[in-house]
Chain A
Amino acid sequence: MTAQPTDIATYNFAYLDEQTKRMIRRAILKGIAIPGYQVPFASREMPMPYGWGTGGVQVTASIIGPDDVLKVIDQGADDTTNAVSIRAFFKKVANVAVTTETAKATIIQTRHRIPEHPLTSGQVLVYQVPIPEPLRFLEPRETETRKMHALEEYGLMHVKLYEDIARHGRIATTYAYPVKVEGRYVMDPSPTPKFDNPKMHRSPALQLFGAGREKRIYALPPFTDVVSLDFEDHPFEVQTFDQPCALCAAENVYLDEVILDDHGDHMFVCSDTDHCEKRREQGRRGDLAPETMEPTQ
């Protein structure tokens, strides 16, 4: 009954028991074999609430090995609660190396962003998915949506885009923008901004999606065609920003608005913190970058 003082958890490697990991790996393999198809799996209770990434954590736990290097991002940031906690969790239960650098990671678990740094072959991107069914808000019956996927009846998806244009004059969907995978399944890319949709197309990295509460896993094998749905006269477009990042002056990246004070002052900064830091280390400075050494300031 002597407690062993050790950093490594005394329970199973990567928290989940081997049978569970085996079951999840089967679901992942099936998902890879049928890109975009939602594979049901027996989601486990995890030591965190639903909605905090239980699906992503189970997928990561099932594929992670002792040699892996893990990066976890939450809305692009490595330093928010969810990201820090999940990273600490895997450090404890799997004793793996962790990083914030996109290029060094072998597994990147993400909540709602794809890193700006291009992913390479051999990397795995694990998405945390709240609602895997793209048709859910149009057709509430699961039996019916499954049939619609099976019979490739996707007219309804365009009804949603039609409604957007009728109401707003353009496709107003900005996140969870539906995509068609390999010309077959319509898939919800999880609530990533549509800015990231083109990065999914023919990505050299393996992309896995885990929805813990909804008990679904789906996947995009490397170099899969991922096409965002649109109309001929209203083609798919990504968001554009008027100004570059206020900290690192990056353009053509996804920016977050940050409120600075109670007077409504704000700035737009990179949502991808790793990308932003790298650029500042290289000496790039935006308009509001702190500790500038220029004499005028």
Chain B
Amino acid sequence: MSDVPLLRVSALSKFYGSRIGCENVSFDLWPGEVLAVVGESGSGKTTLLNCLSTRLLPSSGTASYRMRDGQFRELYRMSEAERRFLMRTDWGFVHQNPADGLRMTVSAGANVGERLMAVGDRHYGKIRATAVDWLSRVEIDEDRIDDEPRAFSGGMRQRLQIARNLVTGPRLVFMDEPTGGLDVSVQARLLDLLRGLVTDLGLAAIVVTHDLAVARLLSQRMMVMKDGRVVESGLTDRVLDDPRAPYTQLLVSSILQV
């Protein structure tokens, strides 16, 4: 790991009118590090994620990102063109519902290839070879390449969405409940896959989840949010094994034991 962070967030707040979305969130994210943001619904996790991924503009605060040339750029001062370019090259965004992140009416191969074509790749054979390679990496059979995601199961769609995001070799991936709505065995495979990809590619990721097991499996560090504020943050194992804030203690003790 490098000693320079990839993303620096300081005093980020988002208000919806007088209501708090998230308030005064600060953290640094290092290259290759996975940060989990946990908390109950309505705690501001998704608002925070949307602000960080510039899908939403915060009310105050700053976030700066270290570009590939090593320069820090203030995210909310970039032009829209630069932000969108960043989003389809150096970043990925994995939605909870794959239909939000995929084009449901074009084939799986085109879904994976779209980012490549967006950055100027104009060789059909190479795009297709890359798509085949990525489908196999996310355990989708090669003969499904010309099928539309509509014909895929939920787990396959989610894996396709991940392939589509990772094809340009991003350095930072945002994930919003990546395993939400999947049954447990599919969840387990997906988590396994994600863990492998994150380690192999050295991705940094911010994972929003309400599932503490997901956080423990994927992340090195975690932040616990409640009512838009960060109530506790630290190494994942430390937070889960030795929760200090009363709310975290409640959260950890609420896990159902099978």
Contact = CB atoms under 8 A, between A and B. Distances in A.
Nearest to A165: B124
A233 B117 contact: no
B81 interface: yes
Interface string A142-166: 0000010001111110111011011
B124 A231 contact: yes
Interface in A144-195: 147, 151-156, 158-160, 162-163, 165-167
Nearest to B113: A162
Given A151-B81, A166-B146, A158 B122 contact: yes
A153 B81 CA distance: 9
Contact of A153 (B109, B118, B122, B128): B118
A269 B11 CA distance: 72
6 contacts: A155-B88, A162-B109, A163-B106, A166-B128, A167-B107, A231-B122
A233 B123 CA distance: 6
Given A151-B80, A151-B81, A151-B84, A162 B118 contact: no
A159 B114 contact: yes
Contacts of B84: 151, 153
B115 interface: yes
A187 B125 CA distance: 25
B122 A159 contact: no
Given A151-B81, A231-B123, A232-B122, A163 B110 contact: yes
A155 B88 CA distance: 11
Nearest to B124: A231
A162 B122 CA distance: 10
Interface of B: 80-81, 84, 88, 103, 106-107, 109-110, 113-115, 117-119, 122-125, 127-128, 145-146
Given A138-B103, A155-B88, 7 more contacts: A153-B84, A156-B118, A159-B110, A162-B109, A163-B110, A231-B122, A233-B124
B117 A167 contact: no
Nearest to A167: B146
A227 B113 CA distance: 22
Specify which of A147, A163, A167, A230 lies most central, judged by the most chain B CB atoms within 10 Å of its CB: A163
B123 A162 contact: no
A147 B81 CA distance: 9
A160 B106 CA distance: 8
Given A162-B109, A163-B106, A163-B107, A155 B114 contact: yes
A137 B103 CA distance: 12
A234 interface: yes
Interface of A: 138, 147, 151-156, 158-160, 162-163, 165-167, 230-234
Chain B interface mostly helix, strand, loop or mixed?
Answer: helix
A192 B145 CA distance: 32
The 7 nearest A-B residue pairs measured at CB: A155-B118, A158-B117, A231-B124, A155-B117, A232-B123, A151-B81, A162-B110
B124 A162 contact: yes
A156 B123 contact: no
Contacts of A138: 103
Given A162-B110, A163-B106, A166-B146, A155 B122 contact: no
Contacts of A158: 117, 122
A126 B39 CA distance: 61
Contacts of A156: 114, 117-118
B127 A162 contact: yes
A153 B124 CA distance: 19
Contacts of B109: 162, 166
Nearest to A152: B81
A153 B88 CA distance: 11
A155 B125 contact: no
Contacts of A151: 80-81, 84
A166 B110 contact: yes
A233 B84 CA distance: 28
A63 B83 CA distance: 42
A152 B118 CA distance: 10
Contacts of B145: 166
Contacts of A234: 124
Contacts of A160: 106
B119 to A, nearest CB: 7
Given A153-B118, A159-B117, A234-B124, A166 B81 contact: no
A162 B117 contact: yes
A184 B123 CA distance: 20
Contacts of B81: 151-152
B57 to A, nearest CB: 16
A159 B123 contact: no
A153 B114 CA distance: 11
A165 B113 CA distance: 13
Contacts of A166: 107, 109-110, 128, 145-146
B106 A159 contact: yes
A272 to B, nearest CB: 33
B54 to A, nearest CB: 14
Contacts of B125: 233
